[in-house]
Chain A
Amino acid sequence: MAGFILKRLLQAIFVVLAVTLIVSFAIRLSGDPAIMLTGAGSVTEQDLQNIRKALGLDRPFAVQYLGFLKGIFVGDFGRSFMGGTPVSLLISKALPATLLLAFTSLLTSIVLSVPLGIYAAVNRGRWPDQLVRVISLVGLSFPNFWLAIMMVLFFSITLGLLPPSGMEGPESFIMPALTMAIILTATNVRLVRTSMLETLSQQYIMVARSKGLKDRVVLYKHALRNSAIPLVTYIGLQFGGLIGGIVIVERVFNWPGMGTLAFDAISARDYPVLQGSITVLALFIVLINLLVDIAYGLIDPRIRTE
């Protein structure tokens, strides 16, 4: 297991390096931040060069990139082109916001989808199953942008219950987390159901029943842990997609997270902020997948004891 984790860590470093290289390179193809900074106004080439020099963009790409890499190791991601705020400061504020949102959504989704998925699987083909499947299909077909706006209209405008945007208190979490959770739950319910059905058809479930165990014990002790194996893998993979979806949800709810940070940085060609935020997100996704692998081993002794 230790060797396995070491191997994954090395892989992770390589992945993060590759991501930073691609991002740094690609964003430099997409437009000159000096022009973005000056707008379309009456600037001369000399003015632009002055700005580029001030931003350090007059150096060759390799020098800029290596400088960025060097910075990573001491936790210095440089300063934003927009106003010169240290990127690490921006990330230190945005990352907790995003992680809180991501975990709240994921947790909500798991709390919703596991019992629903099991319930559907146990009642396979009967009306509770049909109902859960139809609802999850409806959930799947909502674009999250639309869902978010509908929620705001209902909870904030019509009922006046929740703040339409911002991160001000616990009540601010409800709508963004629910938006993400609904989308996630729609897929997760199906996954739990399928995985549970697969497990329930296994012979050891029949054996457990032949032992005289209660249905609840059979489902939650014998079946759930086995069903959790594919589920955990999927949730790990889902995390990457979750971060993608969060960009949109953060925007609608004006959530001061990594999605907003990266999105604004792309619009403004703010290289340091973009490089920094993508690196941190990549690190994070890689880390989550590593945790998933470890969790996998904890759930499945076949992996642990190999």
Chain B
Amino acid sequence: MRFSRNLKAFGFAAAAALAPLAATGAQAAGTVTVAVALDPGSWDPIDTFIVDWASAATNIFDGLTSRGPDMKLKPGLATSWEFLDNNSRIRFKLRENVKFHNGEPFNAAAVKFTFDRLLGEEGKKGPQQSNYNAIERVEVVDDNTVDFIMKQPDPVLLTKLAGYGGMIVPPKYIQEKGDEYFNTHPVGTGPFKFVEYNPKISLSLEAFPEHWGGAPKIDKLVFRMIAEANTQIAELQAGRIDIATLIPFGLAPTVEKSSNLNLVSITGPTTVALRLNTKNGITKDVNVRKAMIMGIDRDAIIKAVLLGHAKPIASFQADLSFGYDPNLKPVPFDLAKAKQILKDAGVPAGAPVKIDFRGNDATFREVAQAAAGYLQALGLKPSLQPYETPVLLNDIIPNGKTGEAWHNAWGGWTFDYDNTAYLMYHSGEKWNPYDNDPKLNTLLEKQRSIYDVKEREKILHEIGRYVADQALEIPLYNQNTIYGVNKRLQNFDPPADRRFRFTDVTVN
């Protein structure tokens, strides 16, 4: 009846034929549909680094370890692990009676196959191998025990085994069907198994009731690739998807206002900073850098530009990150003091500050404009230089062609400060074109060799404080992960890293 009324209101006779079709818009019970922006093209864990891959594939595959929305590391396909031989050998006890979706048994041989493949020729073609290079090889001890022989220490390894390239794949299936078939017909041990893949359109999964973690409560899970944010939200509003993963800050209120939707805004992995040039320009002087940090009201920017969907930061990491120091507070905004410091440092009025940024990032464009406003208030002469992203990342930054400041945005799914800090501050790294600080180098190298969680955390805190003290960057904010979620979804625990788990989710 509702439709026929609408039709009358619309007065469009031809639409009458379409009414029954439109009625299918509502979700079938027991099915959850998620919109992701990109199609990774291949579902093989070693082929991609795309977050949208993980949003879907985390439900197909398991790793030896597992990490849920609480960011705590838990046993996965391995039930326990121990460090042997001065940490150069890590022994995993494997979960028993686990089967892949095709019925193939999960065992030590499957783990060895997975990592031989990742570290060998096949892995060379993809982006994941480099994350696991600390592993020398995997040895089968018995059917339910494997040893990881380490080339060098990697304290983040256990986290990395919970996702992406560390996902365990079925050896027989891949050997029989070939890598190419596996790309589009993935098989794992995860709670959902593959049904159908329409490139650029959708990936359909169904519940795998024999999953070791218990059978999922819904029976179908569909991922649709929708690259345009407005379209994702429209689909969400129309009730044709349950979760939208692409919601720009500006569109968040639209979701908030819809009665059938929840807006989820939680801590995300992405942090944003303006890295400063310590070699040239007025930013050579540490006091000038400090004054610039002090002179930009980041809370105001978060409120005005990001509509509150971010948190201020003191170091280049999220509060969920391993290495986050709750005692390190952001420098408070103080324009007068900042001006005074600049004056004391002898910075002339109208000294130029060029900010290089990713031209396609509309949000950051506004952030940069706001920041430039504050710099102007400090008496400096800011200018904004947008670049095409690959140009900025592959040429301007690594080759040291930046202005006084540049746009740094970073977000690792591992939530470990190590990865970020090492790449950002160790000399010779791509993202560190100007600095060579022996003290920082030593600290960064040291924490990489320690598996002791407490001790490593202490060093990471020290690194965070040291970087803040040297004012190597203007830490701006940690951006929230935003989802639009249909209220009919129950027990949905939104993950910060977008690696959804739907085992416990039910729908009304």
Contact = CB atoms under 8 A, between A and B. Distances in A.
Interface of A: 30-32, 35-44, 47, 50-51, 53-55, 80, 82-85, 89-90, 93-94, 149, 152-153, 156-157, 159-167, 169-171, 174, 251-254, 256, 260-261, 263-264, 269
B103 interface: no
B200 A47 contact: no
A161 B47 contact: no
Given A38-B127, A82-B41, 11 more contacts: A30-B390, A38-B130, A40-B393, A51-B126, A53-B124, A83-B43, A152-B231, A161-B15, A161-B19, A165-B234, A254-B224
B9 interface: yes
Contact of B390 (A161, A167, A174, A269): A269
Interface in B397-435: 410, 412, 419, 422-423, 431
Interface of B: 2-3, 6-7, 9-10, 15, 18-19, 21-22, 25, 38-44, 47-50, 124-127, 129-131, 180, 183-184, 198-201, 224-228, 230-231, 234-235, 237-238, 240, 388, 390-391, 393-394, 410, 412, 419, 422-423, 431
Given A39-B49, A171-B22, A261 B200 contact: yes
Contacts of B410: 40
B127 A80 contact: no
A159 B130 contact: no
A239 to B, nearest CB: 23
A161 B10 contact: yes
Contact of A43 (B21, B42, B127): B127
A41 B127 contact: yes
A38 B39 CA distance: 15
B199 A160 contact: no
B390 A35 contact: yes
Contacts of B43: 83
B231 A164 contact: yes
A169 B18 CA distance: 10
Given A85-B184, A166-B201, A37 B6 contact: no
A172 B131 CA distance: 43
A82 B42 contact: yes
Contacts of A54: 124-126
Tell me which of A43, A53, A254 has the highest count of chain B C-beta atoms within 10 A of its own C-beta. Answer: A254
Contacts of B230: 149, 152, 252
A94 B10 contact: no
Tell me which of B9, B131, B200, B394 has the highest count of chain A C-beta atoms within 10 A of its own C-beta. Answer: B200
A161 B22 contact: yes
Given A35-B394, A50-B124, A166-B224, A44 B130 contact: yes
The 4 closest A-B pairs by CB, nearest first: A83-B41, A83-B42, A31-B390, A82-B41
A156 B180 CA distance: 39
A150 B2 CA distance: 22
Nearest to B422: A42
B368 to A, nearest CB: 19
A153 B235 CA distance: 10
Given A82-B41, A159-B9, A252-B230, A94 B200 contact: yes
Contact of A170 (B18, B39, B48): B18
B469 to A, nearest CB: 25
A171 B15 CA distance: 9
A266 to B, nearest CB: 11
